[in-house]
């Protein structure tokens, strides 16, 4: 069946389509209905069904003939180690870790925060939670203590799993002091923590609160899989929204397992026994779906890579990993390829490795510029697939589904909507845009299985953030175009989310951090174009009347503030003071206009601007930072 035919079938009769897909999963009890729409606009997939995600990811493969197949490979150039676990070994390790959680009082429905670097124990922690029906919430290691504290207070975890340190090129990131500070700041501290001691750094444990991972696991009774409702939450993953309060994206068990298992053969053309490598981080949705769950759900081998595309130790790392483990499918962010291309434009490292196992490269997380796409195609000689999705959906919304049919590639487009997704482009009145016209990209409800059913304990926020703007549709937050071949073109965000090196960040949150500086009266942060990271945040601040401070000291303090409140991952380094910010007559700061000026794009003077002269001053400040141009493109 072609992509178009299957897509149509999935929308005409979603219940039959997804019931068939659900056959790939082991159920303890069959569902009563495939889709419950009685609470629309809230939908539930497979209500009445019972299953266990960890059983589906591990135990059933052990019992079904894959016990001795490698399930997980940890390849860590930053520590110089490579370790492998078979399905049996991983199942046993996860069962013991689950036993530790049970012994510490964690039961079904309890939340467990996982704040860990890219070590295999992070994946084990997620699977151990799934095994006993606890809800994990992984927090990316590049976030600061204050961000972790926000997530602790929202998720109210019974326990936190962490490690003594992470390893970034050139520095050891001590996790324990960050964890201690976050717990200190939180109003809902966990009862206990489990800390993985890494040899690179020792963590000081607090008696009767912090426990040592290795000794606890060594003494633990393995725990069995606990069947849960298909509609029970498997995890919460916080993502940036428009405010400083991150959104707790909820993923349920049943829909998630079904959608991910469907995506592997159909989108990624990856099958049991093959090696799949998502070069991302377990702290992001790509890591949840395609490092941990999807490859294991289908009985493939997954690679968990602790390193960077460049600098660990060089731009050849990726190719060596592919050769070493016979990787068939690689998934990463375009930024990783831009970084490699910058260091190795001729692809000399690529020539030094045997990449014959590689069948396809998938890119997502940010816009893929055509130059990067073509460079990768030329150097690798395999299909390079740009595909589009977000934390909320959990799996691709638009893609060239290699397992169905290989559609022609149009560089700059993530191809067509994937079966299950009814993607539309609407104008501001909610009418569908003609082909080729830009508008808000929305998905007609219901969303397919695997997408968020709601936000963690925040149904109202889910409704107001995603469903109210266009009733009957889910608002993706992206603007773009559908062309006359049905290809989607993702152009920009309609909110203040920016994408820095494939990491999703909120400029609103950075503004909150800057506004907390005693000298700052008001500020604006917006994303500016960056050749490597896609976008970088840039801040302009207006100082309070009468404040007189040294510009360099102020700059350093503002940068440190964002780093301390959000984390190094914000990559906030561009900031300048201006006398005034450009605003509309009603007082709205013109961030979009400033961004256009910074990017050197054509821009028009907003009709509603209060004082056009302010833009000259802004342009001068941007030029000083190395942005904007005298003559726009
Ligand atoms: N723990 C602690 N700090 C972290 C971290 C972590 N897990 N991850 C990143 N950081 C820090 C980095 O050390 C860096 O700090 P610095 O300002 O002191 O140098 C900062 O956060 C920014 O990190 P990063 O975005 O990784 O930038 P970089 O300059 O170190 O590397 C790339 C640039 C392009 C190589 C890197 O961004 C990359 O590999 N991107 C791929 C993106 C990706 O996998 N996205 C996931 C979606 S698929
Ligand atoms: P995240 O939730 O971190 O995965 O970020 C999702 C956002 O990243 C999307 O809403 C888009 O803005 C952007 N994004 C992801 N993939 C792509 C892509 N292939 N092309 C353009 N933008 C993308």
Nearest to 24 by CA among 362, 227, 359, 271: 271
Q: Are 231 and 39 in contact (CB under 8 A)?
A: no
Nearest to 74 by CA among 335, 292, 270, 227: 292
**3 state DSSP class of 616:** helix
Specify the residue with its C-alpha closest to ligand 2, atom 20.
367
Say yes or no to pLDDT of 124 above 80: yes
- Best residue among 568, 570, 572 to mutate for probing ligand 1's pocket (most ligand atoms within 8 Å of CB) is 568
CA distance 627 to 614: 17
365 Cα–ligand 2 center, Å:
4
259 Cα–ligand 1 center, Å:
29
The domains located in the chain, with CATH, are: 501-624 (3.30.300.30)
To the nearest whole percent, how much of the chain has pLDDT over 70? Answer: 100
Provide the pLDDT confidence category of residue 632 given band limits of 50, 70 and 90.
Answer: low
Average pLDDT over residues 256-264: 99
Q: What lines the ligand 2 site, CB under 6 Å?
A: 239, 285, 364-368, 386-388, 390-391, 414, 476-478, 490, 493, 499, 504
Alpha-carbon separation of residue 427 from 415, 490, 493 (angstroms): 21, 15, 15
Q: What lines the ligand 1 site, CB under 6 Å?
A: 117, 141-142, 166, 168, 173, 280, 284, 286, 308-310, 332-333, 335-336, 339, 365, 501-503, 568-569, 571
Specify the residue with its C-alpha closest to ligand 2, atom 21.
367
Say yes or no to pLDDT of 245 above 90: no
Q: Give me the DSSP letters along 529-564.
A: EETTTEEEEEEEEEEPTT----HHHHHHHHHHHHHH
Specify the residue with its C-alpha closest to ligand 2, atom 7.
390
Q: Kindly give, in sequence order, each residue whose CB lies less than 8 Å from that of residue 232, ignoring residues fewer than 6 positions away.
A: 108, 109, 133, 252, 253
Say yes or no to pLDDT of 633 above 70: no
What is the reported pLDDT for 580? 96
Q: Looking at ligand 2, which atom is closest to the CA of residue 386? A: 19
Specify the residue with its C-alpha closest to ligand 2, atom 4.
390
What is the reported pLDDT for 548? 86
Provide the pLDDT confidence category of residue 241 given band limits of 50, 70 and 90.
Answer: confident
Provide the pLDDT confidence category of residue 48 given band limits of 50, 70 and 90.
Answer: very high
Nearest to 508 by CA among 498, 519, 518: 498
Specify the residue with its C-alpha closest to ligand 2, atom 15.
365
Say yes or no to pLDDT of 630 above 80: no
169 Cα–ligand 2 center, Å:
26
Nearest to 535 by CA among 365, 310, 415, 381: 365
Q: Which ligand sits nearest to residue 366's alpha carbon?
A: 2
296 burial level (CB within 10 Å; 0-12, 13-18, 19+): buried
Q: Kindly give, in sequence order, each residue whose CB lies less than 8 Å from that of residue 306, ignoring residues fewer than 6 positions away.
A: 74, 75, 76, 77, 78, 79, 117, 118, 119, 167
Ramachandran area for residue 600 (φ above 0: left; ψ -120 to 50: alpha; else beta): left
Average pLDDT over residues 375-390: 98
Provide the pLDDT confidence category of residue 253 given band limits of 50, 70 and 90.
Answer: very high
The string of pLDDT tens digits covering residues 347-361 is: 999 999 999 999 999
Say yes or no to pLDDT of 434 above 80: yes
- Best residue among 342, 364, 368, 571 to mutate for probing ligand 1's pocket (most ligand atoms within 8 Å of CB) is 571
- Locate 275 and state its tokens: 């090696």
Lowest mean pLDDT among 56-65, 328-337, 536-545, 607-616: 607-616
Q: Looking at ligand 1, which atom is closest to the CA of residue 166? A: 1
- Locate 105 and state its tokens: 């009082």
Q: Are 479 and 491 in contact (CB under 8 A)?
A: yes
């Amino acid at each position: 069946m072609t992509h178009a035919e299957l897509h149509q079938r999935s929308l005409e009769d979603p219940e039959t389509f997804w019931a068939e897909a659900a056959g790939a999963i082991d159920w303890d009890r069959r569902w009563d209905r495939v889709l419950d729409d009685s609470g629309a606009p809230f939908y539930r997939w497979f209500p009445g069904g019972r299953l266990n995600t960890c059983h589906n990811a591990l135990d059933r493969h052990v019992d079904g003939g894959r016990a001795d197949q490698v399930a997980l490979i940890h390849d860590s150039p930053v520590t110089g180690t490579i370790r492998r676990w078979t399905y049996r070994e991983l199942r046993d390790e996860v069962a013991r870790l689950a036993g530790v959680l049970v012994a510490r009082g964690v039961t079904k429905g309890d939340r467990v925060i996982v704040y860990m670097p890219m070590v295999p124990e992070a994946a084990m922690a997620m699977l151990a939670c799934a095994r006993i029906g606890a809800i994990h919430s992984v927090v990316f290691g590049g976030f600061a203590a204050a961000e972790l504290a926000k997530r602790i207070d929202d998720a109210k975890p019974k326990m936190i799993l962490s490690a003594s340190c992470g390893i970034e090129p050139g520095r050891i990131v001590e996790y324990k002091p960050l964890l201690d500070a976050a717990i200190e700041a939180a109003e809902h501290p966990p009862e206990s923590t489990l800390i993985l001691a890494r040899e690179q750094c020792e963590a000081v444990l607090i008696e009767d609160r912090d426990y040592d991972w290795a000794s606890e696991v060594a003494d633990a009774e393995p725990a069995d899989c606990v069947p849960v409702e298909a509609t029970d939450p498997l995890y919460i993953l916080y993502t940036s929204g428009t405010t400083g309060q991150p959104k707790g994206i909820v993923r349920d068990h049943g829909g998630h397992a079904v959608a991910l298992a469907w995506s592997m053969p159909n989108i990624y053309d990856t099958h049991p026994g093959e090696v799949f490598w998502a070069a991302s981080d377990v702290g992001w949705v790509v890591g949840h779906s395609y490092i941990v769950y999807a490859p294991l759900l289908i009985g493939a081998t997954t690679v968990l890579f602790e390193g960077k595309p460049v600098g660990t130790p060089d731009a050849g790392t990726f190719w060596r990993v592919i050769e070493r483990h016979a990787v068939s499918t690689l998934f990463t962010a375009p930024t990783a390829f831009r970084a490699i291309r910058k260091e190795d434009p001729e692809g000399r490292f690529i020539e030094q490795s045997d990449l014959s196992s590689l069948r396809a490269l998938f890119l997502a997380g940010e816009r893929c510029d055509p130059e990067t796409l073509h460079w990768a195609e030329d150097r690798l000689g395999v299909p390079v697939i740009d595909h589009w999705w977000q934390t909320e959906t959990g799996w691709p919304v638009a893609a060239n589904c290699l397992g169905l049919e290989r559609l022609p590639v149009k560089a700059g487009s993530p191809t067509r909507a994937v079966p299950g997704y009814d993607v539309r482009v609407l104008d501001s009145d909610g009418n569908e845009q003609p082909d080729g016209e830009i508008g808000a990209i929305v998905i007609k409800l219901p969303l397919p299985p695997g997408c968020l059913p709601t936000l963690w304990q925040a149904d109202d926020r889910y409704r107001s953030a995603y469903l109210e703007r266009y009733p009957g549709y889910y608002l993706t937050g992206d603007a773009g175009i559908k062309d006359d071949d049905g290809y989607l073109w993702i152009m920009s965000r309609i909110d203040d989310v920016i994408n820095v090196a494939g990491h999703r960040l909120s400029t609103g949150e950075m503004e909150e951090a800057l506004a907390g500086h005693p000298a700052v009266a008001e500020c604006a942060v917006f994303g500016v174009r960056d050749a490597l990271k896609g976008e970088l945040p840039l801040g302009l601040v207006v100082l309070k009347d009468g404040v007189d401070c040294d510009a360099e000291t102020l700059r350093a303090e503002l940068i440190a503030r964002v780093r301390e409140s959000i984390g190094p991952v914000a990559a906030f380094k561009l900031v300048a003071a201006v006398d005034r910010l450009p605003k509309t007559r009603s007082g709205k700061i013109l961030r979009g206009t400033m961004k256009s000026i910074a990017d050197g794009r054509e821009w028009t003077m907003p009709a509603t601007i209060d004082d056009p002269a302010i833009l000259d001053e802004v342009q001068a400040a941007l030029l000083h930072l190395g942005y904007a141009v005298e003559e726009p493109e």
